[in-house]
Amino acid sequence: MIRRPFLHRLDPPSVVVFRALDLGDMLCAVPALRALRSAVPRAHIALVGLPWAQQFADRFTGYVDEFIPFPGHPLLPEQPVQRDGLARFYNSLSAREFGLAIQLHGSGDVSNDIVSGFGAKALAGYSRGEAVVRGRTVLLPYPETGAEPERLLGLMERLGAEAAGLHLEFPLSQQDEEELDASGLAKKLKDAAYFCIHPGARQRDKCWPPPRFAEVGDRLAAEFGLQPVLTGSAAEADLTAEVASHMHHKPLDAAAPISIGAMAVLMRKAQLLLCNDTGVSHIAAGLRLKSVVVFSKADIARWAPLDRHSHRCIWDPDAQRAAVVLQHARALLSGTGPSRQRSVGMWPYW
């Protein structure tokens, strides 16, 4: 007798998903969350994540019904542990008796113990070693290769969810539009054709040097007649200012205390994004904005956008390949390069 897939057999009335990571990592989970929603359309889906991710849940209400902030764990580096809230967090989750808890955080080395503490009636996720499949527990071997959206979606598929595409999303709201209007940044561009340079990243040590961004930005401005726009948070204003100081074509410095959503509205009409390997590269994928992404530390095969025609990923840890970055930026702006019909996941990194 063929056994029904786990999600179909369980048909949980409620699901709690654990993924306590930063922006880019969360956006990579969108295909998996989309598949989960399709598989259990009537279930109440709660997301446990880092406190900032309330805004992620608010943006993806089609896939997430509720957000629960995670107080941290000593072995997870993303945030300090809020020890005074730990007991309350686990007690409140256990009392709710979710039908299923899904560990979508990674290999499960630490996170499976965390999710086991949620007190759900069933548990699913990845783990190291052999698969563990019991009546109400499914832990599958963690894939050591593959792009992050593929790894996460692969888990949902093996649990019985049908894929609804590997594409990323970044929905924009009326509030995002109004915030950008209120900032005055959009008015400075009017109807100008422009491209964006985002020189920052959460980890400064993986940022491409500002003179390299300036060098490529100047050439693109001169050759294509586009206005350079420097984007970033208020905390990255020093980086955008340094890039601007090296440029001959005066850029619009748009580093400001605005939300990610308002910045995405600004990027939406850009011709191109030039950035580091950071969450903004996944926003570009969600917006269908062409990009050139410079990698220096992270696993490029895991974190590069899947559409390698529209998103060119350059490995340059020594900041010696500005000519290659420029070459691919030119190709994207001029519409040259491999045929789009063969673009997804089939072209090498550069």
What average pLDDT does the chain have?
93
pTM score, whole prediction: 0.93
Least confident of 82-86, 116-120, 188-192: 188-192
At 1, the pLDDT band (50, 70, 90 cuts) reads very low
81, 159, 284 from 287: Cα distances, Å: 34, 29, 5
- 44-49/66-69 β-pairing: parallel
Predicted confidence (pLDDT) per residue in 248-271, tens digit: 999 999 999 999 999 999 999 999
Phi, psi of 124 (to 5 degrees): -145, 150
At 192, the pLDDT band (50, 70, 90 cuts) reads confident
Architecture (CATH level 2) of domain 174-342: 3-Layer(aba) Sandwich (3.40)
Architecture (CATH level 2) of domain 6-159: 3-Layer(aba) Sandwich (3.40)
At 337, the pLDDT band (50, 70, 90 cuts) reads low
The residues of the chain that CATH labels 3.40.50.2000 are 6-159, 174-342
17, 92, 197 from 348: Cα distances, Å: 33, 47, 23
300 Cα distance to chain centroid: 14
Higher pLDDT, 333 or 350: 333
